[in-house]
Amino acid sequence: MKPCRNAFGQNRKGFTLIELVVVISLIVMMIGLTMPQIRNALLSDNLKRTALRMTGLAKNLRDEAMREEKTFGLYLDMAQQRYWTGFEAMTEEELALARENAQKLPDDVKILDVWYKTEGKVNEGEAVILFFKKGYVQPSAIHLGDDEDRRLTVVLSPFGGKVKVLDKYVDFESDS
């Protein structure tokens, strides 16, 4: 049996434009229905959002330290659960202003402690992670937690500006 041909002698195998439009419309509707749920899950998770902010801030501070050729610091206040940035040549007034304009953590997120490779853990007061003008970062980790007992570890590697977020509390002191 010969395949069906139209008046122009072409094969009629394939999809019509209407079939393609219907399938694409169904795919778009499915994506449109699921995207808000995915977006809300990501944006409503204050712990993950805070870890992502810390990651972006660390990368920006490293880049800025190299560009400006200054040592920058990420200041973490564990008593008031807030953070800010500064650089080595800041006056006391500038540092006080930066502290005053600090970014507050969401109410359900806490800085548990900051670990330094050379100094160990700091779990009260203020901690500073340094970003040097040559692109090095003080080897350290920020431990974050929330009211639901979830824990994250933001690890700052000294070379290459790598920042990792681990989905658990990693105690580096027990590893040494």
Segment 7-63, tens digit of pLDDT: 555 566 788 999 999 999 999 988 888 877 766 665 568 999 999 999 999 999 999
Other CB atoms within 10 A of residue 62 CB: 21
Query: CA angle, 125 as apex, 121 and 131 as ends, to 5°?
Result: 65
CA gap 115, 60 in Å, rounded: 20
Instruction: Indicate whether this model's pTM tops 0.75.
Output: no
Full DSSP string of 107-166: TTEEEEEEEETTTEEE-SSEEEEEE-TTS-B--EEEEEEETTS-EEEEEE-SSTT-EEEE
Instruction: Give the pLDDT confidence score for residue 10 in this predicted structure.
Output: 59
* Nearest residue to 64 via CA among 73, 76, 77, 51: 73
**Two structure tokens written together for 54:** 């810390």
Q: Which domains does the chain have, with CATH numbers?
A: 46-174 (3.55.40.10)
